[in-house]
Amino acid sequence: MKFGHFDDKNYEYVITNYNTPLPWINYFGQDGFFSLMSNTCGGYMFYKDAKLRRITRFRYNNVPRDYGGRYYYINDGGTIWNPGFLPVKTKLDSYKCRHGLGYTVFESEKNNLKCELLCFVPLKDLCEINQITLTNESKETKKITLHGVIEWCLWNAVDDQTNFQRNWNIGEVEIDDTTIYHKTEYRERRDHYAFFHTNLKHDGFDSDLDTFIGLYNSWVDPDAVKNAKSFNSKASGWSPIASHMFNIELKPGESKTIIFQTGYVENPEDEKFESMHVINKKRAYELQQKYQTKEQVLKAFEELKNKWVLLLSTLHVESDNEKFDRMVNIWNQYQCMVTFNMSRSASYYESGTGRGMGFRDSCQDLLGFLHLIPEKSRERIKDIASIQFEDGSTYHQYQPLTKRGNADIGGGFNDDPLWLIAAVSQYIKETGDYTILNDPTPFNNKEGSERPLIDHLRASMNYIITHKGPHGLPLIGRADWNDCLNLNCFSKTPGESFQTASNFESGKAESVFIAGMFVLYGKEFATILKNIGEDKESANILNEVNKVEEATVKYGWDGEWFVRAYDAFSNKVGSHECEDGQIFVEPQGFCTMARIGEKQGFGKKALDSVEKILTNDYGVEILHPCYKEYHIELGEVSSYPMGYKENGSVFCHNNPWIVVANTVIGNNERAFDVYRRNCPAYLEEVSEIHKTEPYIYSQTIAGRDAQNYGEAKNSWLTGTASWTMYAASQAILGIKPDYAGLMIDPHLPKEIKHASVRRVFRGVTYNIEINNKATGKYQMLVENKTINGNIIPYEKSDKVINVTVNI
């Protein structure tokens, strides 16, 4: 069942039934001011860091699930309704929620009153605009009250939800005819405040939650709204809100537009106050002036839309598969950009109060947006590498506001260092710019410890080389990519974090997955070294790669697939010898991509096993059989009920590894088959089962052993986005940035007979026509001249370069 449809021309998903199986959300913002917006107008706003600088409040784990947002209440002669359906839940005569790129529009109607609500964060300003237009389509004059309301969060989102004995005393606001300023803690150490402004003078206001709602009511029936009035309450402590009320009279056919703006302002220390306790509003006024008219709003909105069109024109495909095109051109790239902004911090599944930016997560995310924002990617690489320690190990996360390593979680995830090589090599391939290797980059952010970035890569390699176990395979540490395979954790204490506890540091547990990574990215590093003339070091690295490759062939092969790991007692994990968890997907993907045991046909066999044992209707499950019992020696993986999360769901992140691996062994049909199984656009028709947004990848889809087989969770903030982007563009379409130029190495399935791709690469635009005649032969023509090999040699050019590839 569908709850809406794609509008590819306008780059939108249009939700037409508000009873979606879960909140279907969208993101706004790019430069510090960020918002989440659900299809019922729920969500929240923050500045840079969803934990430390939360602007509006969201009530987690609430009933209903999606509660807290920017709510517009329309009281039309006693009929009270919201354009986004919640909170009042009045049945609407018509409803559309158009989620676009960085904006959402609600188009709703009740009793011949039409409402259009346009919401977005402008490109350059720290604010969210909500422009509401009401049109009377009836034959009578209508007298309406409109209340627009948001609830402030007292900045630190964790403290806000926990420390009530203090927080219910500290809320402070300032109010004038058009604006409610939220200035809690501004008198003391904060240099920032927020405001909720309207372009017209309000007819009343409220800033105290309990007064606006009434202590025994809820957001469904606020006193102010029911009584079509405002109490003009001035918050002092408790829960400050901002509500503006308007009395509106509309003749038949008449419209009225009001612009609401939630803004964020920082003042320099010596300019904080206008007078005793009165905040300096100069910067707020400036920001407010920019969005006073419909024309100003429209201009900013057009700028935002144009920015996206331009950005996405970097890579654009037109093939004979509509779903593939829409994912590659619009939604997959968009999701990658959202992971650039959010990492794993703020979604409807990540509270924004837990994780900061992950080392491994952010490195992998780069693979999905490097082609779109190379300069920002370079900065990001620097931020990430700066939390690495001199020995090559690294903090696992950092907070976006401070950019410092997160001591609560610490380090010890032994795959982390290698992801840096994945990111940097991809950066060089995309930009051709080796100077990044010279960028002075500190270790653990210590002043004076700056070394050229290449030394960080050396440290990464060295860490793995010097941390191997009894079989010559890399030690796993706390965990590798699979955070739930905790082989040194041995936790017996309820609630103890599997991520940070190490109750039995065996010094023995090894990861075949890290071995695969080491071989793949070690070869990449050796190529980079060779390209910069470090031949000797390159050869040394290849020598180390060979050692790990040999160890993997010898100890990492189980007969039909790659072993997953060796536990603290050197027992195999992910082997036919095990009762449960006999096969894991991760090493099948990575070791095949790394071509380990290619001569012996390991990759082919491993991928046959993946198809036979792990593949279900919605993709490839992470392991099989699921663990039925808790295994103290394996950790969190066995803590999940069967079929969920790391215990046997389709953990979508590693499905694209199988797609890429299949193209490595030349199995194009199977590569596309795996791609299709969990592709959201293909699952749109079964939204009632899949449940999460049909335009966005989710982290997991419950596996065959789960009660709710096929149900997805954790949409948006997942490495699935970048890896699928990589798989679709670089493996299936085969448009692959390489050191010397753009490689075109398509692995299209038979059903895609033709693809026209526009790709902007290092400032040059290529129009690439791929004709898939399944001949098994390869031919490339650049400007009608046949080229040997599959790389278009890079040459700067202002002209569009026409390329034809026949396969």
Measured distance CA(312)–CA(316) in Å, rounded: 7
Does position 484 interact with ligand BGC (CB under 6 A)? The reply is yes
Position 712 contacts ligand NOJ (CB under 6 A): no
Q: Which helix (H) or strand (E) covers residue 310, if one does?
A: helix 294-312
623 binds ligand BGC (CB under 6 A): no
Asked if 358 is part of the footprint of ligand NOJ (rule: CB under 6 A), the reply reads: yes
Q: Which is nearer to ligand BGC, 327 or 652 (CB)?
A: 652
Least separation in angstroms between CB 531 and ligand BGC: 34
Interaction residues for ligand BGC, span 487-546 (CB under 6 A): 499
Q: Which residue is nearest to ligand NOJ (CB)?
A: 483
What is the total count of residues that contact ligand BGC (CB under 6 A)?
7
C-beta of 622 vs 731, nearer to ligand BGC = 622
Determine the 3-state secondary structure of 113 from DSSP: strand
Binding mask 634-653 for ligand NOJ (x = CB under 6 A): ------------x-------
Work out which of 567, 646, 705, 745 binds ligand BGC, going by CB under 6 A. Answer: 646
Helices (H), 21-80: none
480 binds ligand BGC (CB under 6 A): no
CB nearer to ligand BGC: pick between 480 and 646: 646
For residue 64, whether the previous peptide bond is cis, meaning omega lies within 30 degrees of 0, is yes
When the beta carbons of 344 and 677 are compared against ligand NOJ, the nearer one is 344
89 vs 73: CA distance, rounded Å: 11
Distance CA 494, CA 500 (A): 14
The C-alpha torsion from 217 through 222 and 228 to 232, rounded to 10°, is 110
Residue among 214 and 354 whose Cβ is closer to ligand BGC = 354
Within positions 315 to 344, which residues make up the interface with ligand NOJ, using CB under 6 A? 344
Interior/surface letters 19-44, b for 16+ CB within 10 angstroms, e for the rest? ebebbbbbbbbbebbbbbbbbbbbbb
Catalytic residue (choose from 206, 325, 483, 567): 483
Q: In 10 A of CB 687, how many CB atoms?
A: 22
Which one, of 770, 649, 784, 614, lies nearest residue 720 by Cα?
A: 649
Q: Which stretch binds ligand NOJ (CB under 6 A): 354-362, 549-557, 602-610, 662-670?
A: 354-362
Strand stretches in 289-410, DSSP E? 315-319, 357-358, 397-398
The radius of gyration of the chain from alpha carbons, rounded to an integer in Å, stands at 28
- CB closer to ligand NOJ, 193 vs 513: 513
Which residues, numbered 347-366, are part of the site for ligand BGC (CB under 6 A)?
355
Residue 524 contact partner, candidates ligand BGC, ligand NOJ, none, CB within 5 to 8 A by sort of partner: none
Interacting partner of 499 out of ligand BGC, ligand NOJ, none (Cβ under 5 to 8 A depending on kind): ligand BGC
Which residue's Cβ lies closest to ligand BGC?
483
Q: Of ligand BGC, ligand NOJ, none, which one sits near residue 645, judging by CB under 5 to 8 A according to partner kind?
A: ligand BGC
Site string for ligand NOJ, 455-494 (x = CB under 6 A): --------------------------xxxx----------
Which residues have a Cβ under 8 Å from the Cβ of 130 and sit 6 or more positions away? 70, 72, 117, 118, 119, 148, 259, 260, 261, 262
The full DSSP string for 649-677 is SEEGGGHHHHHHHHHHTT-HHHHHHHHHH
Between 325 and 646, name the residue whose CB sits nearer to ligand NOJ.
646
Q: What's the closest the beta carbon of residue 182 comes to ligand NOJ, in angstroms?
A: 32
Residues that bind ligand NOJ (rule: CB under 6 A) add up to a total of 9
- Is the CB of residue 117 less than 8 Å from the CB of residue 41? yes
93 flagged as catalytic: no
What does 481 interact with, of ligand NOJ, ligand BGC, none (CB < 5 to 8 A by kind)? ligand NOJ
**Among residues 484 and 792, whose Cβ is nearest to ligand NOJ?**
484
The two structure tokens encoding residue 583: 């096969």
State the minimum distance, in angstroms, from the CB of residue 483 to ligand BGC: 4
Which listed residue (645, 653, 690, 759) binds ligand BGC by CB under 6 A? 645
Sign of the alpha-carbon torsion through 10, 30, 334, 132:
negative
CA distances (Å), 618 to each of 183, 473, 622, 650, in order?
A: 49, 33, 12, 7
Site residues for ligand NOJ, 55-74, by CB under 6 A, read none
One of 125, 361, 711, 745 touching ligand NOJ (CB under 6 A): 361
Sole residue written with tokens 């309704």:
81
Tokens of 107: 């188009």
Q: Answer yes or no whether residue 377 interacts with ligand NOJ by CB under 6 A.
A: no
**Is-cis flag, bond preceding 746, omega within 30?**
no
Q: What angle do CA 482, 545, 389 make, to 5 degrees?
A: 60
Query: What DSSP line would sit under 443-459, residue for residue?
Result: STT-TT--EEHHHHHHH
Stretch that binds ligand NOJ, among 141-149, 356-364, 486-494, 796-804 (CB under 6 A): 356-364
- Please report, as residue ranges, which positions from 669 to 698 form the binding site for ligand NOJ (by CB under 6 A): none
- Minimum distance of ligand NOJ from residue 710's CB (angstroms): 20
**Residue 320 or 496 having the CB closest to ligand NOJ:** 496
CB 288 within 8 A of CB 296: no
Residue 663 binds ligand BGC (CB under 6 A)? no
Please list the active-site residues: 483
Q: Name the site residues for ligand BGC (rule: CB under 6 A).
A: 355, 483-484, 499, 636, 645-646
> Which residues contribute to the site for ligand NOJ (CB under 6 A)?
344, 358, 360-361, 481-484, 646
